[in-house]
Amino acid sequence: MKEVTIDNRMMENIVLFEKLARTEVKEYLENEDMILYIVGEKRIGDIFKQNPDIVSRLREKTSKHILMAEQSRDLLTFVRNILLRFGIKEIYVIWRGGQTEVQVVVEQEDIGKVIGKEGRNIKLFRDAVQRLFNVKNVSVKQ
C-alpha cells in the first residue's frame, strides 16, 4: 500500500466534505482539476438526500470538479463506482505474469473526459484503485 501525505489544504477539504456530507471520507485524491472523495459503501444516496447541492457547494469552495465514489471490497464494483458518471461499456480484469490489470471500455464521447488533460484523470482513477487493490495498471479504451 502506498504511503499518502495529506497537507493542511487537503485536510480542510476533507473536513469540509465530512461536515456537508455528514459521513467519513475513506480516501481522498486530487489533481489539478478534480477532487475524488471515496466514502463508505451505500453512502452516496444518503449524502444527496441530506445535502442535494453538495457537489456545487464543494466546487464553489475548492474551485475543482468534484467526484464521489463508494468504496467496495470488490475490484469490479469499485472501478464501476469510480467511473459511474462515464459511459462504461465493459470492465476487464486481466491476470498476466502474476499481476492484475484492469481495462475499462467507455463510450467514445467519454474517452477524453476519463483520460483528462495530459492524462490527469486516468492517473487519479488509477491511483484510487491502486490504494485499495493490488493492481498494476488501470487503462481505458473506446
* pLDDT value at 1 more than 60: no
Q: Is 67 helix (H, G, I), strand (E, B) or coil?
A: strand
CA separation for the pair 84, 88 (Å, rounded):
7
Q: Provide the CATH topology of domain 75-141.
A: GMP Synthetase; Chain A, domain 3 (3.30.300)
* pLDDT value at 136 more than 80: yes
pLDDT in tens, 15-26: 999 999 999 999
* pLDDT value at 95 more than 80: yes
8-70 and 75-141 in the same fold: yes
How high does pLDDT run on average in the chain?
93
Domain boundaries, the chain: 8-70, 75-141
What pLDDT shows up at residue 2? 61
Going through the chain in order, the beta strands assigned E by DSSP cover: 25-30, 34-39, 65-70, 88-96, 99-106, 137-141
* pLDDT value at 121 more than 60: yes
* pLDDT value at 3 more than 80: no
Q: What sign has the CA pseudo-torsion 117, 84, 20, 123?
A: negative
- Nearest 5°: CA angle at 50, between 45 and 52? 80
CA separation for the pair 25, 27 (Å, rounded):
6
What pLDDT shows up at residue 142? 85
pLDDT in tens, 75-93: 999 999 999 989 899 999 9
Q: Provide the CATH topology of domain 8-70.
A: GMP Synthetase; Chain A, domain 3 (3.30.300)
CA separation for the pair 23, 103 (Å, rounded):
31
